[in-house]
Structure 1
């Protein structure tokens, strides 16, 4: 099977969750015999798998349809997770939803990361097969490494004598990601060091958040910027808690990375986690700001059970080696659907 993977403007959004998901797909498919091509000029392929939504992506879909190729869409984005992000996102959210529907309806089969995301897409009136397949995580990269933890602490200039506990999060500077709540929790808890990894061009985010990132945050809150590799992996395993207050996700790749690091995880209790993360079993969940404050104190003071090992086991079920065969099976289903061999 030959698959053309199309990703529009990789230089522009390579640091986004979609960019990360696309790179994971390539690694996942290396565990199969699927032949992957990323050249937009290729004609020798059986189906196209599109990850992006711009005009070039739509043109590629039209071209594939004219050439009688099979079309799979990776539905990473929704109307719900587009809102409360950059300046004007709420005004643009309804037109964006129409654009997404127009793009997704062109597919013969849709892959989306979670059952929750599938429910949202069905609510848009999309009727073609929709298969939930996790974005996945390379679990081996997040095994605890003292050298990586040392690099993380050196990056933050934390000496061996600095005994402060560290709470981290990873994401864009979006209100939807809960960055405002993260800073408020830092204000409430000066005894802990709060570190936010990730970056967004300050010109495109609302003034309130821009000001908050630049200066309006307490001394125990650090915006570390876009960091990858050993430092970030060391942060996941070397911190004392991964706190993810996001209000809306289609999955949350960074949550998987934290779980794969055997880190203690505290997330907002939102529908996307309902069927695969369980409060007090493999993570902890909070309802609101006060609840986050309460839960993080219980976790940091060891007043609740450490469920990080159970969280790690959840990550193993979504390892790249597991997801690759699932992607291949979805591609095979797409081929069969179009040829009339199933349904």
Structure 2
């Protein structure tokens, strides 16, 4: 039986960073380990056309693939709900984005949703069949992070326990809460590791960053992401909207205790067992939870449980789900 060939296309690959880019890197690493051939070029000379970002070129190929009987698989990384409060102008674009995505995602024979929450959203967009497959976590990428602790704490002048976050600095991810917590808890160091891109930020976001207190550090892009997980002690993720959160899975893998907003996306996490959740809309709940997490024994218990839970999301565990999906659609 000939090996299945996949056109694994990522539109705007040279421009898109963050979680979407990481997800594609993970997928291709998984594909490398499976008995599949794939090309990163968009082509109809394939058994499956798989697109990771439903831009206009992807939609063009998807229509032609379907007309030739080639099954189309698409990841639902982007939703109108997730798009708002990200970069400058994204709020204005979020409203027209939904009808576009409804049409684009409707071209797929199978949609890959990274979480149950994302699946629920997407089912309001289209009747196309959906499958939940996690973005996964690349455990190999984090190996040896502990050896970088001293270097990265020294580099950014951080004293433990360090409250940290990893990813693009955007309002939707709880920037206002993160900065306000730093104001309220001057005895703790806060560090947000990830690209700043101030030229892409709105006025309000820029003001939050520029007026943050001295104990709140925005590192900008760092060359070795392991340094973030080495320097940080408490992963504080007050995001308002998330499709899954690869950085959260990485923090779990690194055995870091999680503090998250109690949103639908994180319903699979158990409050008090593998994380602490804050349901209040204000900052007070996060402040109280951080004060609890100043206790090393609480951090150790939650971090150990999170690390155990993270094994379910390893690339090895996720890879076979893609193999099965491709076999199903063909």
* TM-score, length-scaled by structure 2: 0.93
Structure 2: where are the runs of 5+ without partners? Answer: none
Map of 2:328 onto structure 1:
333
Q: 2:160·2:233 contact (CA, 8 Å) conserved in 1? A: no
Query: Measured at CA, do residues 303 and 138 of structure 1 come closer, stay the same or move farther in structure 2, by a change above 3 Å?
Result: closer
Map of 1:97 onto structure 2:
98
Map 1:194-343 → 2, pairs under 5 A? 194-213=190-209, 215-229=210-224, 232-274=225-267, 276-287=268-279, 288=281, 289-302=283-296, 304=298, 306-335=301-330
Q: How far apart, in 2, do the equivalents of 1:11 and 1:154 lie?
A: 33
* TM-score, length-scaled by structure 1: 0.89
Map 1:79-118 → 2, pairs under 5 A? 79-118=80-119
Q: Deviations over 1:281-331 (max 9, x none)?
A: 111111231111100110112474722121112211010111111111111
Q: How much has 1:269 moved relative to structure 2?
A: 0.6
Q: 1:73·1:109 contact (CA, 8 Å) conserved in 2? A: yes
Q: How far apart, in 1, do the equivalents of 2:154 and 2:135 lie?
A: 31
Q: How much has 1:172 moved relative to structure 2?
A: 2.1
Map of 2:136 onto structure 1:
136
Q: Could you tell me which of 157, 166, 172 is aligned with 1:170?
A: 166
Structure 1: where are the runs of 5+ without partners? Answer: 336-343
Q: 1:237·1:262 contact (CA, 8 Å) conserved in 2? A: no
More moved, 50-59 vs 321-330: 50-59
Secondary structure, in 3 states, of the residue corresponding to 2:59?
helix
Q: How far apart, in 2, do the equivalents of 1:68 and 1:155 lie?
A: 55
Query: Measured at CA, do residues 133 and 68 of structure 1 come closer, stay the same or move farther in structure 2, by a change above 3 Å?
Result: same
More moved, 92-101 vs 55-64: 55-64
Q: 1:150·1:234 contact (CA, 8 Å) conserved in 2? A: no
Secondary structure, in 3 states, of the residue corresponding to 1:10?
coil
Query: Measured at CA, do residues 155 and 246 of structure 1 come closer, stay the same or move farther in structure 2, by a change above 3 Å?
Result: same
Higher relative contact order (CA 8 A, sep 6+): 1
RMSD: 1.7
Q: How much has 1:175 moved relative to structure 2?
A: 1.5
Secondary structure, in 3 states, of the residue corresponding to 1:5?
strand
Map 1:179-190 → 2, pairs under 5 A? 179-190=175-186
Q: How far apart, in 1, do the equivalents of 2:232 and 2:270 lie?
A: 22
**Length, aligned pairs only:** 324
Q: Deviations over 1:88-129 (max 9, x none)?
A: 3233222101111111000000001011111111122x2122
